[in-house]
Structure 1
Amino acid sequence: MKIPPRIHFSLMPLWLSLGLLAAPVLADDLVAYSTTAMAITGDIEIDDFGITFANGTHMVFDDLVADHFVVDGQPVYSSVYSMEDPQDPVLENGNRLCGSGRVTYLATWGDADVTTLAVFTTQDVPASSADMCASYSFTSLY
């Protein structure tokens, strides 16, 4: 009796065709634009999970807590993140990100040219730029 050969197949093409593989999360590489960003944060890399500063310091986001924010009295689309481990890290030139306490939230907003990063030490989710302890401006590498 002849045993038929085993048939092997891969599910990978099926997964790919159905779009079941997760797309990689791409970070935004941003160049320090404001003088405060140049002096304190340097260039940054930011994605939905955290932020990495020029000196290699990394802060992890806990949750995206809001997608809108008020800047100078005007509502803007933004990303407001809570921090997994609130801290005020030492960055470029010995400067701290906030300088006045542990960073609890970061908010980002911008247009095609400039992205603003606002830093907060508040207990409650910030609704506007009024309570920020610092802000930094960045531009895209491209």
Structure 2
Amino acid sequence: MGGGVGRGLDFGNTWGSGRLPIDTGEPDTIPEADWHIGRSLGAAAMNYDIKDPRTGKTYRFVEGTTISHVEVFAGKGTRNKLRPKVAAGLSERYGGRPRDWKHVKGLGTIEAGGRFRTAEVHWFEERGAGRVEFKVKRWLD
């Protein structure tokens, strides 16, 4: 049962089928340091627009909150590469080289409708261009 081509049932998960992971020596994810959203007192108070794709609404992080559990899950340094069109589009819009862009996620507190809500947020970043295109992946409350 199961196994390679020509021996019993073959569900396509054999070596060479392109469906089994190949160890490239790169990690699936890379943990990164938490970072802080400052209060409205100058450059340290950098905040970001965060789109909720389900509603189309735009939110912002609560001032003074920490973005925690930050993790790169695709792009530079990981096994999972960004799609070429995505990386090229980011480079065209914001600068940097396509191969240097990363897709990152973290947990943050967002002000939504007068309430403070916790969400998993995804964004892209590149060292020279910074953090861009934030979106709510899922609400955690």
- Using the size of structure 1 for normalisation, the TM-score is 0.33
- Say which one has the larger Rg: 1
- Using the size of structure 2 for normalisation, the TM-score is 0.33
